[in-house]
Amino acid sequence: MGKLLDVILLAMHSLSVHLVRSGLTMLGIVFGVCSVSVMLAIQTGASKEAQEKLSVLGSNNVIMNSIEPARETSGGGGPRRGVRLKRFGIKHADIKCIVDNVPGVEDYATVNKVKLRYYCVSDRKRYSLVMGVTPNYQDILNLRISQGRFISAADMLHMQPYCVITETLARKAFRCENPVGQTIRLKGQPFDIIGVMDYIPSKLGISEEDIPIFIPKSTKVGKFGEINVNWYDGNMTSEDIQVDQLILRMEDESAVLKAAPVISSIMEKNHDRLEYAIMIPLKLIQAKAAQQKKWDMMFLVIASISLIVGGIGIMNIMLASVTERTREIGVRRALGAKKGDIVIQFLFEAMTMTTIGGLIGVIIGYFLPPMLKDTFDITPIVSVPMLIGPFLMAVAVGIISGLYPAKRAAALDPIEALRHE
């Protein structure tokens, strides 16, 4: 132990003699460990945020949307002006067929949408995507209500003029006031706000820019009818869509994967054209997880390259140090130092540089990611394995890069070393 301590002290003294050179050499390891830690923190944060948004849709759910089929071009004339009634999308008969024949369906919710003008006291008239939903819509999608409550079965039964708005609309229309209990007008008809929804998953086909407003489905049908009328450039288009969106909640994830092909088969049999889209959140989540693994592998490669570059710099400095200290090595060998002592000395010098550089990189990598939250609009996630991994790689690089110079120093002939000037 005494000899090992002497070797360690000698290695530390050698590094302190060339302090600037040793510090510059360690910078490569510092930047390598720090950059890898920061990149992993940002990537992990972004991946978690994306998976949370997808998980809101429910890994046990199957979501179907009605889509307008591609228009068939006819052989004459331009587009016809006037009223056109378009019938497409998911039908009630489709839902009954799916529920009766697809195993594992626990519950389902339906949505009817219509674009309407809304008006409230502190905001000018704007268009909103009014969504007639069933009471179980919130439970199936695990949506969070920040204020008030969601639509209930009683609201649905009595066709109450109630609505639930989003946080974005609440801030825009009511600013600092509490929106719950306020009144908003949809196409001139008053609706009482009973709740504020915290977050809308973008994969549902709606966004905050659509200004979604949720009302009981029975109220939507009773007050605004089943046929949606839209005006575009002087043309009035009427759409007869029985169900805009269908959300099926399955027993478990295995039931989702089994149900998907059965649902596709039923819809293909009931529809001659593509007027629906099936989305499976579970597959999106699995795809995101697989993508995360690929990114992790890519960052591991980047880490290896950056640390290898730093290791090459350390090896270069250690080889130069061996040449500079040839006479010192010869004196130590003449005084009784063994080859193993020389190897340990130079190997420890290389490991010390990478260890100190790795520790500094870990400290910076721990404190830097939270500072980048506003820059990337992502909350980076720093974990212990994320910091330990690059640090251990840095130490391994120190061992590998210092091994060859250490063996070369130990292999010097003592007599020739003593004659070296």
212-240 pLDDT, tens per residue? 899 999 999 888 888 877 655 556 678 88
Nearest to 333, CA basis, from 324, 316, 345, 321: 345
Q: Is the same domain home to 133 and 252? A: yes
pLDDT, residue 96, reads 92
Question: In 130-252, which ranges are continuous DSSP H helix?
Answer: 137-141, 153-157, 167-174, 217-224
| Mean pLDDT, contiguous 10-residue spans, the chain (421 residues) | 70 76 81 82 77 67 85 47 73 92 90 83 70 91 89 94 90 84 89 88 65 91 81 66 89 84 90 86 72 74 75 80 76 78 80 86 87 76 82 83 80 70 54
Q: Is the same domain home to 238 and 340? A: no
Is residue 185 domain-resident?
yes
Q: Is the same domain home to 307 and 405? A: yes
The letter for the amino acid at 158 is: H
The letter for the amino acid at 194 is: I
* The model's pTM: 0.61
pLDDT, residue 153, reads 93
Q: Is the same domain home to 313 and 242? A: no
pLDDT, residue 160, reads 94
* DSSP letters spanning 284-335: HHHHHHHHHHHHHHHHHHHHHHHHHHHHHHHHHHHHHHHHHTHHHHHHHHHT
Helix axes 281-324, 19-56, angle to 10 degrees: 180
pLDDT, residue 190, reads 92
Is residue 70 domain-resident?
no
Q: Is the same domain home to 223 and 158? A: yes
Is residue 384 domain-resident?
yes
Is residue 368 domain-resident?
yes
pLDDT, residue 159, reads 93
Q: Is the same domain home to 245 and 300? A: no
Q: Is the same domain home to 92 and 212? A: yes
Split into its structural domains, the chain has a count of: 2
Owning domain of residue 230: 79-274
Is residue 267 domain-resident?
yes
Q: Is the same domain home to 349 and 328? A: yes
Q: Is the same domain home to 237 and 320? A: no
Neighbouring-strand partners of residue 190: 185
pLDDT, residue 231, reads 57
User: How many residues are given for the chain?
Assistant: 421
